[in-house]
Amino acid sequence: MATRIRGVTGAFWLFVGPFALGLLIFVYIPIAWSVVLSFNRAQNTVTPRAWVGLQNYVDLLRPGPFLTSLVDFMIFAVFIVPITLICALAFALLLQRIRFARAFFRSVFFLPTACSYVVASMVWKLSIFNGVRFGLANTVLGWFGIENVAWLGTPDPPLYWVVIVTARLWLQIGFYMILFIAGLQRIPPELYEAAQVDGARPGWQTLWHITLPQLRATTVAVTLLLFIAAFQAFDEFVNLLGNSSFARPPLVYLYYTAIYDQNFGYGSAGAVILALLIMIVTLLQGKIFGFGKAAE
């Protein structure tokens, strides 16, 4: 028996060991080192120079670029989270009702998920929302006699949100649609049959009283994932707007702080604050919406 246990343990570490070692070296040690740097002055080096305690955190939380970037994130989240949630659910319900070529349509909607955020951002910037008349959006507007629009120009009006939100929506909607489809497939068909016997009409009544309650756990999970993904927004902002003074989420601000200012202690403090915000918001959402609770 002891020999068998040792053999199983050896096989376990043979398969899990390389992954665990990589996770330790490339994830946990850098996170711990980032926390250490956040309490130190580290200018032009990743080695702590002098202990400053909470000074980096105090400087970040004063009115300035970092707090402004958090406001920009909130604006982005207000747009992208509910729009993606509603569209993903709508497409999932639509594809669930299709009786022919279902796999084809699912693949078509899911395919953009495999596309690079950088490539999609450049297509949106150079082909669709180009500020000249050759851009697709301005070409369509020109059919109605509307002059060319500078989509990524000045922040007044803030039309750049149209470009950013549509790019992110196109890229991620397929993934969350698949999650909703998986949730729909777990709903017992007997519930709909029982509702039909009780006189419920197919459509809004069954959607509101059966489908949505049964999708509660999936909806909460998708909301949490969308909010975390919004916090991690980076590629589309950098490639569409660069280091602009407007529409600059926290990760973009911290990236330019670390790369150009070489202030790694300051940047590490911002990363820790961002991680704590994600953790707090996730826990609050899970508490409020009841993460993991199935429909009663």
- Give tens-digit pLDDT for 221-246: 898 889 888 888 888 888 888 777 77
User: Which stretches does DSSP call E strand in the chain?
Assistant: 40-41, 50-51
Q: What is the pLDDT of residue 1?
A: 47
User: What residue type is assigned to position 224 of the chain?
Assistant: L
Q: What does the mean pLDDT of the chain come to? A: 82
Q: What is the pLDDT of residue 8?
A: 63
pLDDT in tens, 125-136: 888 888 777 788
Distances (CA, A) of 48 to 24, 39, 53, 79: 21, 9, 12, 39
pTM for the model stands at 0.79
Task: Give the three-class secondary structure for 141.
Answer: helix
Q: How many CB atoms lie within 10 A of CB 218?
A: 20
Phi, psi of 263 (to 5 degrees): -100, 85
Q: What is the pLDDT of residue 3?
A: 52
Confidence band for 189, pLDDT divided at 50, 70 and 90: confident
Q: What is the pLDDT of residue 295?
A: 46
Residue 280 host element (H or E): helix 264-289
* Alpha-carbon gap, residue 1 to 21, rounded angstroms: 29
Tell me the β-bridge partners of 5.
none
pLDDT in tens, 60-84: 888 888 888 888 888 888 889 999 9
Q: What are the CB-based long-range contacts (under 8 Å, 24+) for 3-11?
A: none
User: What residue type is assigned to position 2 of the chain?
Assistant: A
Instruction: Indicate the domain borders of the chain.
Output: 53-289
DSSP character at residue 43? B
Q: Reply yes or no on whether the pLDDT at 271 is more than 90.
A: no
Domain 53-289 is found in CATH 1.10.3720.10: yes
pLDDT in tens, 166-179: 999 999 998 999 99
Q: What is the pLDDT of residue 291?
A: 59
With a pLDDT cut of 70, the percent of the chain lying above it is 92
